[in-house]
Every structure is written in C-alpha cells, then in structure tokens.
Structure 1
Amino acid sequence: MQNGQRSHSTIPPLRFSVFLDPTHQIYLRWDHDEESSLMTFDLQAQSTGWVAFGFTNHGEITGADFVIGGVLPDGNIYFSDWHGVNEETILEDESQDYELLSLTQDDTSTTMTFRRHFRTCDKHDLDITSDTLRLITGYGTDDTIDFFKGKIIHKSLFMMVFSNEDELHSPSVYHVYDLKLNDFPIPVDDTTYACTFLPLPIVKQKHHIYKFEAMITPRNETIVHHILVYGCGNASVLPSGVSDCYGGDPDFALCSQIVVGWAVGGGSYMFPDETGISIGTPLDAQWVRLEIHYSNFNLIPDLIDNSGIRLYYTPELRPYDMGVLQTGLFTFPIHFIPPGAESFMSYGVCNTSLFDEMNGTPVPDMHVFGYLLHTHLAGLGVRGVQYRNGEQVTIICEDNQYDFNLQETRGMKKEVVFKPGDEFLVECHYQTKYRTELTFGGPSTLNEMCLAFLFYYPRNNISSCMGYPDIQYVAHQLGQEAADAMEGMMAINLVEWDNETIKTAEKACKEADQIVMIKTIDELLRNETGFVRDIVDAEPPPCKDISTSMPGLQPEGQAKYQAAPPTVTSKALSTKGIFPFPALLFIPLGFTWLLASSQSRL
C-alpha cells in the first residue's frame, strides 16, 4: 500500500454514504458540523490514477468547483482546489479552500478524505446549502491528469441530512406489509395514473407504521414517477379493480388524506422516534387508495409492473400519531405558466382559520418534522414559508436547486411548531424559456404542479389546504375580459406572451386574492380566502476562510488545463505549454505546496 499525507490523527466517523455512479465505482461518505459550518468528505474511487470531486451549477463544467488528488508512483501525493473556466478549460484556484485530511491508495482504489466550509470566501467556490446539490466526480486511469478524457460522473444529492436510520429507534418487533399493483400492464402512453383500493394490515390492537420504502419493478425505474397512498374515510364506498385515477369514474379519485408518498429519486424513510402512522383503532383508516403515476414517454410496449410501497409497522407504540398536510397551489384548472419565461413564480396560500371548525375539535399545535416538495419538469425551486399574525416566522422548507429526478422526503434539523391561525405560503419557481405554448397545471409530467407535503404530529382530520389566485383579476390585469373563472382561463390563452406580459402575469398572480380550499379526510370541503405575503430572504451566513494560499503564485503561474490547447500566452497556458515533456506525469504548479508539505512529513 502507498500511504499519503494525514494531517489529523483521527477523522470523525461519517454518518452518510452513497454510491455516486450506477456501476458502484465511486463511493462517497460525508458528514457535517453545523457549529463550525464544516463538511467532511471521504471519497473512494476504483482507480489508481487521479480522482476528482466537487460541485457544479446544473451539471456544467463552467463555474464548477472541485478538487483533484492522487498518489504518485513514488508515494508522494497531490491535492488541489480547481474551478471550471468554460466547458473546455479548468483552472487551479489561487485560494485553496479544501483541507486534505488523508490520501491513500492500494492496488485497486484511491481514497481521499478532505473538508471545507459550507461557504468559503473564494468567488470560485460554490456554497454547500440545504438545496439539492449537483455533484461532479471522476477519475483517470493514471496520474496524467487529462480531465476531459477521464470518467466524469454527475449526480444530484441532498447533503444536509440530519440523521440516519442508525440514529433512530428500530423496534424489536415489527411486521412488513406491501401495498402494490399485481402484474399491471403499463399503457403505451406518456402519462398514466393507475389507482386501486387496498386494505391496510388487520391488527387486533393499535400499531404504528414507523417506516416506508418504495418497491419499483426492475427495468421500470425510469417509468414510475410517483407513488402515493391516501387514507380513506371508513364511511367511504370504494370501487374494486384498477382504473384511471382521474378518468371517467370519479370514485377512483376518492380518498385524499395522504398517508405516505414517494417520488422519483426518493429512498426509504423512517419517522422520528416520537411519532408513527396509527393503524388498528376505530379512528384510523382501514382502506387506502394506491396511486401510481407512470411516465412512459418512449412509448415502450409490453411493460408489466408490480411496484408499490412497503410499510413497516410495530406494536411498540410511539408517543404521537402523525399526519401529512398537502399544501401548495391547487393544480387544476387555474394554474398556468407563460411560455418563454426565464423565470416565473407561482403561489399557493394555506389559511388555517377554519381548521378548528372543520376538524370538529380544536387542532393542537402541529409539530412539522419533515417535508416533500413537488413540481414537474419546469420547476427550478420550491419553498414553504410560515406566517403568524401577519409576520413571517420562518422558511420551513426550501430547495432552490430543485431536481425533478430527486424527490425525497427530507427530515428537518429542528421541528417547527405550526399553530392554528398561522398561514403557510408555497412559492414555486419555474423556467419555460424553451417552451412555445402555455404550461397548465395538471397530472402529466409536461403539465405542472406546485406542492409541499408537510409531515407533522399529532394528527388531525385536515388532509389538504391549498390556494389559487383569482383568475379574473389576473385576466383583467393582462387586458382581457372575464366574467367568471372559466372565462378567465380562456382569456389567458388569448394573451400575446413577451417579457412584459410575463412579468405582468407574475405580478398579478401574486397580488390577486387567493381562494383557499380546505379538505378533511372525510371529503368535507370549505373555501377560505387569503393573500400572498412578501417573503423575507434569510441572510447568508458569513464566509469562512481556511484557505491555504500559495505564496508567490501569480495568476500567470496558475495551472490550467484545456481540452484542446489554444495559442499559448502568459495568462492562458495550455498543459503542453506548462509541461513540455509528454512522457512525464502532469503535476500542476499549484500542487507544489502540498508535495513539499507531504515530503516534510514522510
């Protein structure tokens, strides 16, 4: 084994891990320290050449922020902080803001352990936030760093995870129960919503569901878009068989109290020790509606599906029963997004003033501990904001770099208490600059949604609280006549869309009064009113500089690698210009500080 530098005698255990590629060649472990705002990474690649890891904006090399490291044949190590100049050029940072902890290599793999602050003071470093992060990682076959010819992998990942299953209480006795379709032939259609009604486990005494996970039929992973389980009121008369959820038979759309939900990219989820989903009491749902959304855009024939949700339940009860509140913008028919929009915001308000009355008894404080955010392909970001007495309390949940392919239930660092009378606003950020037609809210992946599912305890009877703007007001602001909501939506189709009308529509949708629709598990529906309040953005944390600057290194001397060498100048050096010996290893100038440091310790 060739051992590299280790700057710390011990490296703390890292709680979270994932393979970054489908062939399991690159394995990442990580953890974060909120107090010091440091994140520690441990990357293992099945390569004895150079290894790279970092962050990008939407998968682009331009503006990417990453480290490259490895172990040379003589045992010396190299490690340095880089950024992407454009899609053909990478440049070593003057400010080195990643701190190497360990770099080792054996006969088959290289392992690199390092850390950095969430927010550094280097303009070339991307912030590590609670958004979905786009990772870039890769490796070469040897230590000749030919970055653009290496194996480069992109992956979206949420890294601000606050606990894993090992830190939660797993019951000593548990049972498993599957809710799934059986040999369902997926239609040759771009969008299908298949629904069926299934019983929950029959138990003689109260149990708690404490964990759930999706079961996706192999080879259908790219087809199954989401799976939702809705609890049914015990007085409901339910149909049998499998049918279109929102087709000709309205009975297949019955039951609206979400029990659990999974969407593409999500994994298993275990509830906090304080709570679980109650089953087995007279107040609990006995039947559920299983809804599976298929997106068969390639019109693949002869697909058979047995996907569903696996529930884990236990007689070892938790202190509280949990519930899920669906919030956001009511999907159909009011929601629209203009074509050609670089940026467009949509809003849905939840006004809880009727909660006590509709619940039948006073609603206790809701302790929100997790969330799932949902838009379709035009979505760039989602956030949910809590207000009390007209003042913003906090941003409960947000993802400003939303990825349609990574929709997962996320736990919160600290529970948020939601009191009766509070308001909740969901804001969705869209981009339709390559679309030429209006995008409407609807079930298809090519339609749009703007939803936030809040996981909370103790459970009440409210299933959803969603708003939509007064469309007549919006139409009038766009110069159209509309006597009612239907005419308002028809008038939206008459608008000539350009930058001015897009901004007018966005402003009108925010200014308009909102109609708030509140529904209970027993399908009781009431309307309330609300309006969109301003959102106060949180101040970013101060940057922290643990830079290891390179003394005497001028911009002209920075190592620079380009896919195709340009004309060499003093400020744009190609690899060949810096290292004219093609048979030798490519070791950038900026690595010299670490090589020297390494040699002094060996």
Structure 2
Amino acid sequence: MIFYQISTLIIVVLLNCLHEVVSRSPTPTESFGHSVILDTAGKIVLHWNFNASHITFEVHGNTRGWVGIGFSENGNMIGADIIVGWVKNGIGHLKDHHGTVRNEFPPLDAKQNVQLLASSEAEGWTVLKFQRLLDTCDKDDRILTADTTRVIFAYGNSDPQENDITRSNYHGSSRGSKSVVFMDTPSNAAKQRPQNEQHQTFDLLNDNVTLSSTESYNCRLLKIPDSDSKFHVVKVEPVIQPGNEHNIRRFVLYLCSEFLDAPTAVNMSAQCADPNTPDFFYCTTIIFAWAVGGGPIVFPMNTGFPLGGAGISKYALLETHYVNPGAAQGIVDSSGLRFTYTRQLRQYDSGLLDVGMGIAPAEQIIPPGAVSYKSYGECSASCLKQSLKEDNKTSINIFSVLLRGGKLAKRLSLNHIRNGSELEPVAMDNGYDFNYQETRFLHQEKVVKSGDSLQMVCDYNSMTRTNITQGGENANQEVCFSYVYYYPQIRLAKCTTIPEFSTLMRSLNVTSVRANVPNPTTLYDFVDSEATQSIGETLDQKNWTDVLRQQLEEISKNALRSQACEGNDYFPENIDGEVSPPVITKSYKAPQKNCTQVPQPAVPAGLPPSATAAKTTTAAAPETPRTTTVSPSTTSGGVRTSIRRTTLWTTLLAALSLCFI
C-alpha cells in the first residue's frame, strides 16, 4: 500500500513538472539575432538571422506532428508563401508550398527554394532549421524585405502519412498570424552598451485611470525624477499593466516648457484637451513615442537623450491613447513608460523630430472608394537649414524612425530630397500594419545635410469607407508623419506642413466658407455660404470617381503649404508660415534585380558551420549533439520504453529528476 501511495504521489508531481519541461521551447541551435513568439500560448517560436542575400529560420513547434509557417500580404493563405516541415523516424522533411487565389489547400511549388539545415524532435517539440534566398525570383515565393510581413503559422498533431501534407492534415484551429519585420537590427542590440557604463531606471506611469468610453486620450503631468543634473536616457520601453495589452494604442511623452515653473497639476490625470488643466498646454514638444506592437527604443552606444540639468524642463506630460471597443466596465490602468539612463554622458545628445503632415482634420481629406490615395507632408529645406545654422550644425544623423499612419494606410515612406533629387528613402514600409507600429532602427545611419528636405508619403486604401476620412488621431481618422530619432540634437522638434485650406476648398468648388460652430475643427464644422449643409456632408454625398480622386490628390500634393517649424520654446528666425512643396526633378529608383541567373540556396558567408545539410529538401539529421534528431527512446519522451526495461521505482525516480535539471 505504501508503495502505491508513494508511487501515486511521485506520478502527480512528475506530471506537473513534466508539463513545465515540455512547455519550454528548446534552446536554439545557434545565437539568433531575432526571435518572436507567434501565438499567444507560446507553442510556435520563430528565430532568424539574415545577411545581404539569405535568411536562416529556425521554427520550434510544440507538437510531434507537422509545423508550417508562411509569408502573407494580409494574414491569410491567399497568395502566401508557405513552408511545411516535420520529423519522422528521425528524418527531417521540408516542403515549399504556395497559396492560391482562394483560402484552400496550398499546392506544392514546382521549384523547391528552401534548404533544410537541421531538424529534431524531442520532449514534445519539433525543431526545423532551414534557409532560403531573400529573393528567389520564383513567382510562387514572396520576396522578404524590410517591409512588415504577416507571418502565418499552423501545425498538426501527427506527421503526414505520405511524403507531403495532404488535405487530411487540416490544422483546424491550430493556426494564426502575426506581423513581423524580418530585416530589422538584431533584437539583442538592446544588450549592447558601452563597457562599464552604469545604469538606473525610473518609470512615468498612469495612476488608476478608469476607461469609461470606447476611445480616450488621458494625460498626466509628471515630474522627471533625479533631474537636478543632466543624464542620458539610453532605453525607453513600455510598462503595460497585465490584462490591459489590448486597451493601449500609444504612449507619447511631451517635454514641458521651462516657463512651467510651478505647475499646480503635477500627478493630475485628465483628458488631454481638458480646458481646466492649463498646465497641460505648456507641454507640446514630443521627446519619446511608443505605439502598439512596438518594442523598446534603444539608443546607439554613442548617443543618449538628454534630460535634467540647466536649461531642460523638469516636467513632462504622458499622453496615453486608450481603446475600449465594447465600453467594458471596470477597466483600470496604471501603464506607462520605463526609462533606463546613465550619468556617464555619451558623446552626443540625441533628439526627436516630428516630421511629415501635421494633424489636419480639415486639410487632410481622403475620399472613399480609393484603392490607392496618397497624402504628402514635409520637413522643408528652409526650416531645417535655418535650424541647423542657428545651432551651429551642418548635418544630423538619423538612426531610427517610427512611421505613423492610420487604419487605411498600406504603404508609408519617409523620403530624403537633396538638390531636387530623391535619395534612398530614410525608411519605408510597403506592408504597414496599424496594429504593429515598430520603431525601425536603420542598418546604416542617414545623414541629412543643410539644404536637404524630408517628405512623408502615405498611401491609403479607402475601399471600406463610404464617406470621406479626415486627418486626426482618433481611430477612424488618419495621420501621415514619422518620429525621427537622430543626433546631434538641435532645438528643432516639429517640422511639418499641411496643404493650404483655401486652395483645397477652391478645388472642391467651395468658394465661400464660414464656420457654423464657435471652435471649428473638422469639415463638418464649416459650411459653404451658398449651401445649407456642412462641407463634410457635401463631400460625403459627392460622386467620387477615379478622376476626381486623382485630381484631389494632385492638388493636395502641389498646393502651397502652411508649415510648423518650432521646438520647445524655440522658433527659428526668418521662417515663413507658408512654403511651396519640394520640386523633385529626379525620383529615386530602387536597384532592379536581374533574375535571369539566380543562385541556388547555399550556405552564405556569416552563417553557422552547422549549415551543411544536403541541397535536397529532405535531409537526415546531422550527428552533432545540438542538431541531432532525437528518437523518443533517447529522451524524456522515452519513459514508456524505459518502463519496459527497468523497475517502476527506478523509472519514476529517474523521470522525476528531470524536474530539477
């Protein structure tokens, strides 16, 4: 009896701890610069490295069956590039498939452009390591670029019976998608800091904010800790209250004016536009921003953002964009931002520039029914040149960019113009995802010189809208700008333009405009003196043809601009309030790849020595320990085999020891 009681107790403990062991993703076969958990349960983990021509993936699936990942334009299987693999009888298998014009079983590619490097199956996990060209020049494959890619994934509980998956291997609900930027700087760059640099942290957080409406902007005035002397912020990251991840769209931190000497609203929370909090209106200079889907902002080792000390305000305003789609009751939040800083000042002070189109509810108009409609906004050459001159600088170095668009935005680009010629874009994303707004760290810093200008171009698809869409920060409005991190710091912080309002109205045959409310902000607050309804209502009822949409886009692009050129308590001299859009005499053309001779997948320079598998897509597992394909009888998964060969006591005690590894 005692034997069975002890045995039962050991089995209960064993099952609990084996669950922990099995749920742990295996150690990757090499040091990968990038990793992402694709599903909420942590059952599919993707690691990758890349160079100029190839990308190496290692996918870990919490299954003894098949695992598939794919690269998609919109998060479904239509037109996707799909790779499926499994390990059977100690042998790894990998197949290259593609999605068709419908969500149906993906056929096998005529050309297999993936190379299996290693595989294993142990402790409930299947590991597949493989490689492919970034651009295979195959119509059934997708080119992997610096754009946001929707990675789709699926898995099954058993291996295919044949030499490939069939319709009988349907994944059911074991599938999903996640947006990823493959060509980003390594995620382990966050660990790179100057030797012997000492760090401290502080948090700027909300304080029990109740989410009472479907969408809100909460602001809280805070004093920056330890700000009597200067320090450098070297990392900024979100601190999101568990359970509220889906309620937070964005954090923006504004540095307050030095004129805000003795604020009365410190630690006070209110709606950002609340007229009863006048202290808030002294805080208008953006110094940090984080948006949904983004990770930490890590500054290069030679620069940090300066705070504290003489000449820098000790107060900041934290703006949080909350969403609560179902107006659920009882949601309270205390999320915010965490700052890592050092007193050991780095070589350069860094800065942030708000660049592109200003927030313009009346001046940014996107007509409905457009497959493609572009908006433009600039940081003018005159503004940049004068600001650099007044701060005794000749150029700035851009090291990261957060591109911002709304739900309709599909392609964003921050263009660089010098002497009428477009240079390579500073940053661009042809697969923009409103729910994945990552700060992009440039592989090579962009030098912006005196006389250069920057132009933000946003391409929207408004096929889902029946009325016009206006500019603004609310969920159904649109924006077109970017937050640009750079060094050395200049006082300029906001460099934006908007099309001149009267020009737009004349193009829409509105000749006489008057406001019908005391403080007009949108086109629904203005009326044409010759009409009985608002301008917004008139435009909603307009028959928007492709010709009319194109005409409005061209007029908005070429119209005289109203510009904002300013910093925190700083306004450059001799800057006109109006400016012409940049004249571009030579457009940038990306280098074209010649696909007549495409190299086959091969182990490129810089990839690990383990990448030596045969060029076929079915390869035996290598013999090295870290990439061995493990049969169940040689791991903890082989307990059943051991039971047949040892006593029950020995087996239970041996298995229990796994919990303490």
Q: If the TM-score is normalised by the length of the shorter chain, which range does it land in?
A: 0.7 to 0.9
For structure 1, the 5+ residue unaligned runs are 1-9, 549-591
**Greater alpha carbon shift after TM alignment, 533-542 vs 59-68:** 533-542
| Deviation readout 1:394-430 (Å, 9 max, x if unpaired) | 2001111111111121110011111222111000111
Aligned positions of 1:522-541 closer than 5 A: 522=569, 524=571, 527-534=577-584, 535-541=587-593
Select 1:354's aligned residue among 360, 383, 395: 383
Q: Do structure 1's residue 310 and structure 2's residue 338 form an aligned pair?
A: yes
C-alpha deviation, 1:476, in angstroms? 2.6
Change (3 A) 1:222 1:488: closer
Structure 1 residue aligned with 2:47 = 29
Task: Return the alpha-carbon distance in structure 2 between the equivalents of residues 296 and 443 of structure 1.
Answer: 16
Q: Do structure 1's residue 151 and structure 2's residue 174 form an aligned pair?
A: yes
Q: Do structure 1's residue 185 and structure 2's residue 210 form an aligned pair?
A: yes
C-alpha deviation, 1:600, in angstroms? 13
Structure 2 residue aligned with 1:89 = 105
Q: Does the aligned pair in 1 maintain the 2:73–2:80 contact within 8 Å?
A: yes
TM-score, reference length from structure 1? 0.85
**Greater alpha carbon shift after TM alignment, 481-490 vs 388-397:** 481-490
Structure (1/2) with the larger helix percentage: 2
Change (3 A) 1:170 1:379: farther
Structure 1 residue aligned with 2:652 = none
| Deviation readout 1:533-569 (Å, 9 max, x if unpaired) | 4543423444573558xxxxxxxxxxxxxxxxxxxxx
**Which amino acid is 1:20 matched to?**
L
Task: Return the alpha-carbon distance in structure 2 between the equivalents of residues 323 and 419 of structure 1.
Answer: 16
For structure 2, the 5+ residue unaligned runs are 1-27, 529-534, 602-614, 624-628, 630-661
Q: Does the aligned pair in 2 maintain the 1:95–1:547 contact within 8 Å?
A: no
Task: Return the alpha-carbon distance in structure 2 between the equivalents of residues 18 and 510 of structure 1.
Answer: 39
Q: Does the aligned pair in 2 maintain the 1:265–1:407 contact within 8 Å?
A: yes
Change (3 A) 1:487 1:292: closer
C-alpha deviation, 1:519, in angstroms? 1.7
Structure 1 residue aligned with 2:545 = 498
> Larger Rg: 1 or 2?
2
Change (3 A) 1:356 1:71: closer
Structure (1/2) with the larger strand percentage: 1
Change (3 A) 1:400 1:533: farther
Q: Does the aligned pair in 1 maintain the 2:233–2:305 contact within 8 Å?
A: yes
Q: Do structure 1's residue 44 and structure 2's residue 44 form an aligned pair?
A: no
Task: Return the alpha-carbon distance in structure 1 between the equivalents of residues 444 and 257 of structure 2.
Answer: 32
**Which amino acid is 2:269 matched to?**
V
Structure 1 residue aligned with 2:222 = 198
**Which amino acid is 1:531 matched to?**
P
Change (3 A) 1:482 1:386: farther
Structure 2 residue aligned with 1:366 = 396
Which consecutive segments of 4 or more residues in structure 1 shift more than 6 A? Answer: 483-488, 599-602
Task: Return the alpha-carbon distance in structure 1 between the equivalents of residues 621 and 381 of structure 2.
Answer: 65
Change (3 A) 1:599 1:384: closer
C-alpha deviation, 1:474, in angstroms? 2.7
**Greater alpha carbon shift after TM alignment, 472-481 vs 24-33:** 472-481
Q: SS in structure 2 opposite 1:346? A: strand
Q: SS in structure 2 opposite 1:114? A: strand
Select 2:271's aligned residue among 237, 244, 257: 244
Q: Do structure 1's residue 173 and structure 2's residue 220 form an aligned pair?
A: no
Structure 2 residue aligned with 1:563 = none
Q: Does the aligned pair in 2 maintain the 1:325–1:462 contact within 8 Å?
A: yes
Q: Do structure 1's residue 62 and structure 2's residue 78 form an aligned pair?
A: yes
Q: SS in structure 1 opposite 2:275? A: coil
Q: Do structure 1's residue 339 and structure 2's residue 363 form an aligned pair?
A: no
Q: SS in structure 2 opposite 1:91? A: coil
Structure 2 residue aligned with 1:104 = 120
Structure 1 residue aligned with 2:256 = 232
Task: Return the alpha-carbon distance in structure 2 between the equivalents of residues 194 and 45 of structure 1.
Answer: 40
Change (3 A) 1:113 1:142: same
| Deviation readout 1:276-319 (Å, 9 max, x if unpaired) | 01123212231111111112221111211101100111112210
Select 1:467's aligned residue among 487, 497, 517: 497
Task: Return the alpha-carbon distance in structure 2 between the equivalents of residues 594 and 98 of structure 1.
Answer: 7
C-alpha deviation, 1:171, in angstroms? 5.4
Change (3 A) 1:91 1:129: same
| Identical pairs, percent | 29
Q: Does the aligned pair in 1 maintain the 2:90–2:621 contact within 8 Å?
A: no
Q: Does the aligned pair in 1 maintain the 2:387–2:490 contact within 8 Å?
A: no
Task: Return the alpha-carbon distance in structure 2 between the equivalents of residues 200 and 107 of structure 1.
Answer: 49
Q: Does the aligned pair in 1 maintain the 2:404–2:479 contact within 8 Å?
A: yes
Q: SS in structure 2 opposite 1:272? A: coil
Change (3 A) 1:443 1:239: farther
| Deviation readout 1:432-467 (Å, 9 max, x if unpaired) | 111111111122111111111100011111110111
Change (3 A) 1:179 1:142: same
Q: Does the aligned pair in 1 maintain the 2:229–2:309 contact within 8 Å?
A: yes
| Deviation readout 1:299-355 (Å, 9 max, x if unpaired) | 111211101100111112210000000011111231121122221100101114134
Q: Does the aligned pair in 2 maintain the 1:381–1:402 contact within 8 Å?
A: yes
Task: Return the alpha-carbon distance in structure 2 between the equivalents of residues 368 and 442 of structure 1.
Answer: 26
Select 1:267's aligned residue among 295, 308, 315: 295
